[in-house]
Amino acid sequence: MAKTHAIVAILFVALSVAMTWPLACGLDRLVAYPGDPYINTWVLDWDWYATIHRPFNLFQANIFYPARYSLAFSENLYGLALVLMPLRAFGVGPLTAHNIAMLGGFAFSGFAAYLLGRRITGSALAGVAAGIFYAFPPWRFTQLPHVQHIWSGWVPLLLVALFHYADVPSWRRAWLFGFVFLMNGLSNVHWFLFGSIMVVLSIPIVLRNPRQWLRIAAAIAVAMLFLTPFLLPYVRAAEFYGMKRNWQEVRMSSATLRDWLNPGEVNRVYRRWLDPTTNPECWLFPGVLGILFAAAGAIVGVGARGSGLGGENGPAAPRPPTPDLRPPAFVALLWVTTGFIGSLGVHTFFYRFLYSYAPGFRAVRVPARWANITYVGMAMLIAFAVAWLARNRRWAGVLAAALFVAELRAAPIRWWATRPDVPPVYRWIATQHIRVVELPINVNDSEYRYMRFATAHHRPIANGVSGFAPPEFERLSSMWHAAVIGDDFVLELRRIGINFILLHGEYGGPRERDWLRRELTRGSLSYVARFDQGTSGDWVFELRSGRSSAPELEAFLRGEYTYSASTFGLLDYPRPGEHINDAYLFSGWALSPWGIRKVDLLFDNGQVRYPTMLREDKVLKGRFPWYPSTPRPRYVAHFPSRPANVRPDTDVQVEITDGRGQKTLLESQWFDWGS
């Protein structure tokens, strides 16, 4: 059995790589989009950092300074962080670790459902089919920005541990169940709330003798003792900041019957039937095969008696305490039904009751995620159906598993390709004991970016983004977005304890420059340094009287470009989100003190490379007169039509090779290229 488990584990790792391709080729730079993945990257990194440096202040994280319990504004993901800590100890970076967790989450979910399917049927093939369905439904790919919902293996393992205990009730097996319960709670607050309810409802079906409940109850109680330090900060944050979801917000993420037919936009087979007008959190369609096999499995499972369905290698190993297979089938039906009703959220009395009376549910924004409970139940029923097929015809079980792979295929996926390097200003902040606000505040996706690079320094910042925001941040954001930045902005920064400002020069328009000059003149700010970044640099100021002028600062305040001692550039065309028809001219520019050797365009997340031609540009030379080693800064590439090896829904990332041979990657841009 151990050999079979090892082979299946390798299979699910391979499937995870294939089904998310080409994520495995860019672990240090690919994300679902430049938003929520950065939050989760920061959370996992903070768990690692705080465990080593300040374990008793885990929830007093470095974002939203000076807010309390700022880690509790998001899920803490500590169970995932524990798994990743050996990788971090060996020097794996935060974003790479996040993406390894993404691949591992798919594999873990599939393997856990395989263990569940095999335990209730005795068939490894049935378990594999159940694991493929559970790991890769269309909804799971809609959740690519949320690694905690990809990492869903602890939920089916709750049932595996419960059935294992039911076979031979003992304290050892009860503690094993308690460990799974604990890890589920540490890894995902949603799965903790939903899974705990489902386990309590399942215990009377699985354990017919109430005396056997005592050990499980004790294991849950001990697990809750360990979970308490991770749950109390949420209670305190909710009390301190009034954190709860309002009725309308929860209603917007409550699914409808129609949502269960919406496949989302990633699945290759069903995405043509996407309804983009509904909330993506509610795209719940599990696939036609999943529905058909689950229906067949319900018939097979409920009608099964005796020693089991048998597997591909003959009769299943006997399980004397529970020879009747109907209890697992009834558990599966319970999970399918309850998960479905729960996903409908406030449209049902069940969830309205939970929202009104059950602890924790007022902080849950998306009831539709109850669908994962349904998928666990469906995976069990699918295992029954495939085991019945494979009993006499092994090839039928293999075919069923293969059909699930074909139906649920999402790859190749268009990921967002970011720059893997850390900007110099964040490396400098890491050497200083300071408290920083990054400007601008809350513009486009700026806060996500700030959180991503907070992993490089771990210093307190006033910025942040999450499902909730503290009043100090809301006040700063309101002040910053006023028509004129008032005198009270700097006073507010001083009041909350911020002593340094980082202004990203690309956002330094006339309004921002006028404010800077005014504060420098009156002595409220002093100039610290300029750091290379993009076309306009990063500018650091201290909230005290001091140096108010420097040649590069004066040029910046006049709206002029300033010298960079590193390679940089820009892609002018295509624009983000642009739709291209047939022929197109890609164009941009690159500059470096060492000259530009070549510029390549990387399509399909770096899978396809095309060179560009370098040309002179007198206008650029006039704006940036400091780079005589770059006589041809403009790069262009003309395509008479979309190349056959480039997908219509693609991205482009610019790779600049300077005169030293060093490569610089720009942020990617998504666009659509008509055939």
pLDDT per residue over 222-251, tens digit each?
999 999 999 999 999 988 888 888 888 899
Q: What is the pLDDT of residue 307?
A: 40
- Measured CA to CA, the distance from residue 250 to residue 261 in angstroms comes to 20
What's the pLDDT tens digit per position in 445-503? 899 999 999 999 999 999 999 988 999 999 999 999 999 999 999 999 999 999 999 99
Give the pLDDT mean for 641-670.
95
Give the pLDDT mean for 420-428.
96
Let me know: does 15 contact 110? Beta carbons within 8 Å.
Answer: yes
Nearest residue to 518 (alpha-carbon basis) of 538, 540, 489: 489
- Measured CA to CA, the distance from residue 243 to residue 240 in angstroms comes to 8
Distance of CA 638 to the CA centre of its chain: 36
In angstroms, what is the C-alpha Rg of the chain?
A: 28
b vs e for 527-548, b when ≥16 Cβ sit within 10 Å of the residue's Cβ?
bbebbbbbbbbbbbbebeeeeb
| pLDDT of residue 599 exceeding 50 | yes
What's the token pair of residue 484?
A: 């004129």
What's the pLDDT tens digit per position in 489-546? 999 999 999 999 999 999 989 999 999 999 999 999 999 999 999 999 999 999 999 8
Nearest residue to 452 (alpha-carbon basis) of 422, 425, 427, 428: 422
Number of Cβ within 10 Å of residue 333's Cβ equals 19
Cβ partners under 8 Å of residue 551, min gap 6? none
Tell me the CATH number of domain 567-674, given options 2.60.40.650, 3.40.50.300, 3.40.640.10, 2.60.40.420: 2.60.40.650
DSSP class of residue 282 equals G
Distance of CA 289 to the CA centre of its chain: 27
What's the pLDDT tens digit per position in 289-321? 999 999 999 998 887 654 445 444 444 444 444
- Measured CA to CA, the distance from residue 273 to residue 78 in angstroms comes to 37
The predicted model scores a pTM of 0.94
- Measured CA to CA, the distance from residue 165 to residue 177 in angstroms comes to 8
- Measured CA to CA, the distance from residue 143 to residue 490 in angstroms comes to 39
| pLDDT of residue 172 exceeding 80 | yes
Amino acid at 370: W
What's the pLDDT tens digit per position in 79-101? 999 999 999 999 999 999 999 99
Residue 381 banded pLDDT, cuts 50, 70, 90: very high
Q: Which residue has the tokens 């159940």?
A: 130
Give the pLDDT mean for 372-393.
95
The C-alpha torsion from 113 through 116 and 121 to 127, rounded to 10°, is 20
Beta-bridged to residue 587, according to DSSP, are: 573, 636
What's the pLDDT tens digit per position in 617-653? 999 999 999 999 999 999 999 999 999 999 999 999 9
Q: Calculate the average pLDDT of the chain.
A: 93
Backbone angles phi, psi at 265, to 5 degrees: -105, 0
Q: Which residue has the tokens 């028509």?
A: 483
Domain boundaries along the sequence of the chain: 2-28+93-407, 424-557, 567-674
Cβ partners under 8 Å of residue 128, min gap 6? 8, 11, 114, 117, 401
The two most distant CA atoms of the chain are separated, in Å, by: 87
What's the token pair of residue 530?
A: 């300029």
Q: Which residue has the tokens 């097979």?
A: 300
Nearest residue to 134 (alpha-carbon basis) of 391, 514, 408, 364: 408
Q: What is the pLDDT of residue 306?
A: 46
CA distances in angstroms from 655 to 37, 627, 667, listed in the order given:
23, 19, 10
Task: Count CA atoms within 13 Å of residue 294 on its CB side.
Answer: 23
Residue 675 banded pLDDT, cuts 50, 70, 90: low
Q: What is the pLDDT of residue 281?
A: 94
DSSP class of residue 598 equals E
- Measured CA to CA, the distance from residue 646 to residue 603 in angstroms comes to 7
Q: Is the dihedral of CA 47, 50, 53, 56 positive or negative?
A: negative
Third-level CATH fold of 424-557: Rossmann fold (3.40.50)
Residue 393 banded pLDDT, cuts 50, 70, 90: confident
**Cα angle value 324/328/333 (rounded, 5°):** 130
Backbone angles phi, psi at 270, to 5 degrees: -105, -5
Number of Cβ within 10 Å of residue 349's Cβ equals 9
Cβ partners under 8 Å of residue 392, min gap 6? none
- Measured CA to CA, the distance from residue 429 to residue 312 in angstroms comes to 60
Q: What percent of the chain clears pLDDT 90, i.e. is strictly above it?
A: 88
Number of Cβ within 10 Å of residue 257's Cβ equals 9
